[in-house]
Amino acid sequence: MSGRRLRRAGRRLVLAVPGSGRAVAVVRGRRAVRGLLDGGRFDVDWYAAQADTSFSSPEDAARDYLERGRRAGLSPNSLFEPEWYDPAGALTRPDDPFGAYLARIGELRTVGPHVLVDPATVIAAHPEAATHRHGPLGYVLDHADAEGLAPAGGGPAGAVVPSVPWVKARGRLIRAVTQWRQQERLRRAPRRSAVFDHRAEKAWRSALRSQPAPVAEDAAHPVVTVVMPVRNRSGLMRRAVDSVRAQKLPDWELVVVDDGSTDDTPYVLEGLAAADPRIRVFRQDGSGVSRARNRGIAEARGEYLAFLDSDNTWLPDFLDLAVRAMRRDDVAVAYAAMQLREGDRVGYRAFDGDREYLLVGNHIDLNVLVARTELVRAVGGFAEDLRRAVDYDLVLRLTAQVPAVFLPFVGAVYSDDSGDRSRISVSEPLAWDFVVRSRHAVDWAAIAEQDRVPGRVSVVVPVRDDLATAARCVAALLASEPDADLEVVVADLGSRRAASVGLAALELRHPRLQVHRLPVDTGPALGVNLVLPHATGEVVAVCDPRVVVDGGWLAPLLAALERPGAVAVQPLVTDPVGTVAAAGATFTAAPGQPVPLLWGHPVEDALKLGDVAQLPAVDGPFWLCRAADLVAVRGLDPLMPLRWLGTDVSLRLAAGSKDLDPRFPGRLVTAVQVELTSADAEADETADDKGQAVGGGGAVSGIGADDGQFRRRWCGGGLPSGRSLWRSAGFAVTGHRARSAGSVAAGDPALTAVVARGWRAGRDEVEVGMSPDERPLLRWRIRGTPELSGRAQAVAAALRRWEQDAVVDLSGRPAAQGELDDVTLHLVGAGEPVPEPAGDTPSLLWLLDPGQETAALVAPARQAGYAHVLWTGAPEDGQGTAGGSGTDSAPEVCALAPAIDPVLFRPATADDVTGGVLVAVDLDDASPLLRAAVHAAVRAGADIEVRGRGWAAFLPPGAEVGEPVRSHRLAAAYAGARAVLLDAAGPGGASLPAAGVLPWSALQAAACAAPVLLAWPEPSPQTPAGAPGAWSLVRTFTTPQEAVELIATPSQELSGDPQTRLRVARDLSVSDSYDARAFTLVQLAAVLTRREVTASGSRAG
C-alpha cells in the first residue's frame, strides 16, 4: 500500500471515532489561524479597522477573519485587495481570496495584489522575491517594516511613481479604511427597519402617563396647529382629516391649504369645515406645496406645529404623546416613529440619529414631526423653490438650530400607493435630495473667499467604485502634463471599501492628487460641489474618469479660456473608434432641446470647425472654467442629467450670474485641436438611452436626474441654435431625431441632428464638384473595424491627396448619416465578415488581406449590393489597378495589388541602419518555415534581432527577444534594419506566393529600402506579379538553412547598393502606394457617380 493510501486510510479511521470530526475541525482552525499569523501576513490593526471591532488577541482577529471577514470581502492585509487585480472575481476563490492568491503565485506572479504593489518592481529590486514561496507579495510582507520602502511601482495604470515609505503607506491606508468604516456607519444607519421595539414603546408611554394632559392656554390658541396642504386629493384626504379629528388631544386646529385643486377637494373641504369649527380652509392658486405649507404656518395659532399630508394618517394618541413629551423635556423639535405599509409588508421609519446622520440621508418624516411654531417661523418655513425634499430641507434647517429628539412611539401610518402619479415622490426626481444637501453641506461664501493659486488647474474627477478606470485617468492626467501646475481632486462618491482604499492609496503614488471620500453616492454634480473647497487652482476642470488624455491638452484649453469673453472651454472628445463623442452643444429652435454638435460624425468633420470655435454651450465629459466663476453660479446642479451637467453650467456661466437669462452674451469656446478619448462612450450612450444611471461600469452616476429638469430650465426658447457651426463643418441641419429607439420609448429622447451636405441643402444646387483635371470631388466614408484604423487612415489620407473629402468611420454603427456621402468604401480585414453596404450611397468593398477573394466572400458581397468588390492580389494588367477601370465597363470584381502608406513607410538614410536582420512578428503569426528559420539562425549565432510575443519560449535558452514593435514604430524599425525577415503568406492565407504577389509587410519593408528575406514555401514564381521593382529587394528562401545563409550574406550582395535600394523604394512610393490605389478608387467612383447621376436624372454632369 502506498504512503498516500495509508494516510487516507488513517484519516478515515480517525474520523470514524465519534466526536472526532469536531476535534479535527478545531485542530484545522487553529492551524489556519497560525498559518495566517505566520510571517506577518495578517495585519491585525488593518483588519480591526475594517471590522470596526477591537480584538483581544491577534488570534481572535485571525479567527474572525477566517470565519467571517474573508466571506464579507474584508482584506487581511493592507497590501492585498482582490478588486485591484481581479475586479470580476474570476481569479479568486470567494471564500478565501488571500489564500488563493498566495497559493496561485505561479500564475499570478506578474499580477499586483494592490495599487501599491508591483511585482515586477519588487523582483527587479529584490530578485530573490521571484523565488519566494509566496511570491513577490510574500516577500514584501516578510521584509517590509517601518524603515523599509513599500514596493510602489508601475501598476496596471502604467505610471511610474516614486516609492513611498512603508510606514506612511500603511498609516494612510488604515486612515482610509477607518474613514470608510465611519462613513459606512452613517450610510448604513437603519433609517428604515422591519422591526420596532414595541416593548420600549410601552415603557416610554407608561413613563409619560404622569405628565399632565396638554391644555390650551386660551381658546384662541390651540395647543397644536396641524398644517395640511392638499391638491386634487378629494377622495384620499378624508382619512387623513378623520385621523386628526380622532386625536385624543382635543385642543388642535387643522389648517388645510388647498393648492388650487380642480377636483372635488374644495367642496369636500367646505363640508369638513362646516362640520367642525376646528378645521379652517384656505385656498391658493396652485403655487406649490411649500407655499401652501407656509400659508398654513402663517395662519397657525397653536403653540406647536405638526404637518400631515393628505395621504397619511396619524394614530389617535400621536399629538397627545408628542406634546406631553415635548413639554416634559422642554423640547423644541421632536419626531416619532412611522409605520410603513406596502402590501402585506410592514416596516418602520424609526431611527434616532443626529444631524451628522441627517446630512447623509433623511430619517425624519415630516408627518411625525412636531416643532414649536416660533422656531419654524424663525427658520423661514419651507423653501418655496424646491419641488421635492422640502421636508428634508426644513429638518436640516431646524436641526441646525436645535437637535431633533426622537420619541420612541409609532405616531403615524403610511400606506404606499405609489400608483398615484400625482405624488411628488413619483413625479419629481430623487436628485432634489442632493439639491438640499448641496445647500446645507456646501458653504459657497466660504469657498468664494478661499485663496486660489494663480495659474494652477484643478481637475475634479468624480469616481464611484471603478478603481482601475480612475487610476488610469488620474495617471494619464498627471503624466500627460508633468510640468504644468496641475492638481487632480478625486471625489470618491461612496465607493466600496476596496475601491475607496485603492483611491486613497493613489494619493501616495501621485503627490499632486487629492482624494476625498463622500459617505454616499450623491451623483457627480454634488460630488464635485462637495470637493470644490479642496481645489486650489484658479481654473477648475471637471473630468469624467473614463476620459483618457494624451499629452499637450492643457495649454490650448487654457489659451482658449483666455480669449476675450470665454467662460468655459472644452476639447473635442472622440470615442475609441474615432467618431465625435462631444464637440459642444447646439439647440433646437423650439423648444430648445440640446443637440450634441456633430455627435457620431467622423472626427474629420469636427476638424473643419477650425482650431477654436465659439459654441452655444459645452457638452461632454471634460470641460474647464474659472473656479471663481463656477463658485459664483453655485457649482454644478445636481438636478441636471449627467450628459447635460456641463451644458447647464456653461449656460449659467454665460448668463453671468444666478439670473438664468441665456441671452447674456457670454462666449464658450472649444479648442478642437485637442482630442481626448472617452474610453467608454458607447456604454455611456447605451446607459443614457436606457434612462439608467450613466456609467454602468461604475464610474459615475446621474442618480434621479432627468432631462425634464434641463428642459424646464432652459427650453423656454432663445437658446442659440448653433446652425452656423454646422455650416462651418459643411452641413445644414434639416431636422432632429432621437438617437435611438430606446430613448424614445423612455419618453425623453436624446436628440441628434439630421443634416445634409451644404451643397445638397437646396435641391437646385445639387452638383458634384469637379477638379480642373475633370476628377469628381467626392465625399468618401471609409468604414472598417478599429483594427484597420491605420490602413483606413492611410487610404483616407491618400484620397485627400487626390482632393477628395474623406472621413474615417470605424464606429460600426449603421450609417445613419450615409446620405452625406458620395461613396462608401468598406475595408475588410482577414477573418472579418462582410458588412452590409451603406443605404443608397454607392459602396465599394475592399478585401484588404490576401486570401479573401473566395467566392464565399465575393459573391455574397455582390449580392448584397456593393458596386465593386476589390480584393488584394495580382491585378490582371500588372499595373496595380483594376483592369479597365476608368471606363464605363469597369469590372465589378477586380484585384488590387497590395500597397503601402508612402508617408509612413519611406527610406531612411544610410546612417539609420544600425541593427541586424529584424524579425518583427509574433510567434503565433509566423509560418512554420519562418519559425524554423529564426530558430536555426539563433542557434547559428547569426546577427538577428527577434522582436515579438512568444519567441522567448520557442527559441533556445539565452536567446534575446525584444518587445514587439508597435505599428507606428514599424517603419522606423524596418528602416533601421540591415534586412527584414518576413513571411510570404499573410494572416489571410498562402495564396500570394502562388500568385507571385508580395505581401503588405514585404512591400512596407521594401518601401523603407530594407532588403527583404521572404519565407517562401513554394518555388519562386517564374514571373513575379505586381510591384516588379520591389522584387529586386526581395530574396526568398524555402529552407531554414537557406535563411541562415541569406542572413549571413552582406546587404549589398543581398539587394544591391544603398542608392539602388533607395531608388527602388522611391519608385514603390509612387507605383505601389495608397496614392496609386486611391487614384484607382477615384476612377471607379467617377464612373459610379456618373451612373448615379444619369440614373436619377438630376445630377447629370
| CA–CA distance, 903 with 906 (Å, rounded to integer) | 7
Nearer residue to another protein within complex by CB, 205 or 238: 238
Nearer residue to another protein within complex by CB, 236 or 893: 236
User: Residue 313, interface with another protein (CB under 8 A)?
Assistant: no
Nearer residue to another protein within complex by CB, 236 or 830: 236
CB of 413 to another protein, least distance (A): 19
CB of 315 to another protein, least distance (A): 20
| Degrees to nearest 5, angle at CA 166 with 162 and 172 | 95
CB atoms within 10 A of CB 316: 15
Q: How many CA atoms lie within 13 A of 950 on its CB side?
A: 10
Calculate the alpha carbon distances from 6 to 3, 10, 15 in Å: 5, 6, 14
Q: Of 122, 268, 371, 921, which one interacts with another protein (CB under 8 A)?
A: 268
Nearer residue to another protein within complex by CB, 269 or 1086: 269
CB of 276 to another protein, least distance (A): 7
User: Residue 238, interface with another protein (CB under 8 A)?
Assistant: yes
Scanning 11-19, 159-167, 263-271, 415-423 for contacts with another protein by CB under 8 A, the matching segment is 263-271
User: Residue 264, interface with another protein (CB under 8 A)?
Assistant: yes
User: Residue 1084, interface with another protein (CB under 8 A)?
Assistant: no
CB of 233 to another protein, least distance (A): 8
How many residues in total does the chain contain?
1101
| Degrees to nearest 5, angle at CA 766 with 760 and 767 | 120
| CA–CA distance, 781 with 841 (Å, rounded to integer) | 10
Residue 701 burial (C-beta neighbours within 10 Å; 0-12, 13-18, 19+)? buried
Q: Kindly state the cell numbers that stand for 1082.
A: 477615384
Site string for another protein, 269-298 (x = CB under 8 A): -xxx-xxx----------------------
Helix (H) or strand (E) holding 239: helix 237-245
Q: Of 192, 267, 790, 967, which one interacts with another protein (CB under 8 A)?
A: 267
CB of 587 to another protein, least distance (A): 41
| CA–CA distance, 986 with 196 (Å, rounded to integer) | 73
Scanning 50-58, 259-267, 354-362, 608-616 for contacts with another protein by CB under 8 A, the matching segment is 259-267
Nearer residue to another protein within complex by CB, 207 or 274: 274
Nearer residue to another protein within complex by CB, 127 or 419: 419
Nearer residue to another protein within complex by CB, 275 or 859: 275
CB of 244 to another protein, least distance (A): 13
* Of residues 52-81, those binding another protein (CB under 8 A): none
Contacts of 458 (CB under 8 A, 6+ apart): 487, 488, 489, 535, 536, 537, 539, 540, 541, 627
Q: Which of the 8 DSSP states describes residue 94?
A: T
Nearer residue to another protein within complex by CB, 270 or 925: 270
CB of 237 to another protein, least distance (A): 6
Nearer residue to another protein within complex by CB, 234 or 789: 234
| CA–CA distance, 467 with 176 (Å, rounded to integer) | 15
Q: Of 78, 121, 265, 367, which one interacts with another protein (CB under 8 A)?
A: 265
CB of 235 to another protein, least distance (A): 5
Scanning 234-242, 683-691, 813-821, 961-969 for contacts with another protein by CB under 8 A, the matching segment is 234-242
Calculate the alpha carbon distances from 805 to 238, 535, 795 in Å: 72, 45, 12
User: Residue 263, interface with another protein (CB under 8 A)?
Assistant: yes
Residue 902 burial (C-beta neighbours within 10 Å; 0-12, 13-18, 19+)? buried
Which residue, chain included where needed, has cell 445630377?
Answer: 1099
Nearer residue to another protein within complex by CB, 419 or 958: 419
Q: What secondary structure, in 3-state letters, does 430-493 show?
A: CHHHHHHHHHHHCCHHHHHHCCCEEEEEEEEEEECCCHHHHHHHHHHHHHHCCCCCEEEEEEEE
Nearer residue to another protein within complex by CB, 270 or 877: 270
* DSSP assignments along 33-46, one per residue: HHHHHGGG-S-HHH
Residue 599 burial (C-beta neighbours within 10 Å; 0-12, 13-18, 19+)? buried
User: Residue 237, interface with another protein (CB under 8 A)?
Assistant: yes
- Site for another protein (CB under 8 A): how many residues? 17
| CA–CA distance, 622 with 674 (Å, rounded to integer) | 11
Q: Of 32, 103, 236, 744, which one interacts with another protein (CB under 8 A)?
A: 236
Q: Which of the 8 DSSP states describes residue 1075?
A: H
CB of 271 to another protein, least distance (A): 4
One-letter identity of residue 326: M
Nearer residue to another protein within complex by CB, 217 or 270: 270
CB of 311 to another protein, least distance (A): 12
| CA–CA distance, 424 with 446 (Å, rounded to integer) | 33
Nearer residue to another protein within complex by CB, 265 or 885: 265
CB of 245 to another protein, least distance (A): 8
CB of 258 to another protein, least distance (A): 12
Q: Of 163, 234, 686, 1060, which one interacts with another protein (CB under 8 A)?
A: 234
Q: What secondary structure, in 3-state letters, does 179-231 show?
A: HHHHHHHHHCCCCCECCCCHHHHHHHHHHHCCCCCCCCCECCECCEEEEEEEC
Closest by CA to 1027, choosing from 1062, 1067, 1060, is 1067
CB of 312 to another protein, least distance (A): 16
Scanning 160-168, 266-274, 520-528, 1032-1040 for contacts with another protein by CB under 8 A, the matching segment is 266-274
CB of 275 to another protein, least distance (A): 4
Nearer residue to another protein within complex by CB, 60 or 276: 276
8 A C-beta contact, residue 297 and residue 227 = yes
Nearer residue to another protein within complex by CB, 230 or 407: 230
| CA–CA distance, 784 with 791 (Å, rounded to integer) | 10
CB of 236 to another protein, least distance (A): 7
User: Residue 250, interface with another protein (CB under 8 A)?
Assistant: no
Nearer residue to another protein within complex by CB, 59 or 276: 276
Scanning 264-272, 701-709, 719-727, 1056-1064 for contacts with another protein by CB under 8 A, the matching segment is 264-272
Residues at the interface with another protein (CB under 8 A) = 233-238, 263-265, 267-268, 270-272, 274-276
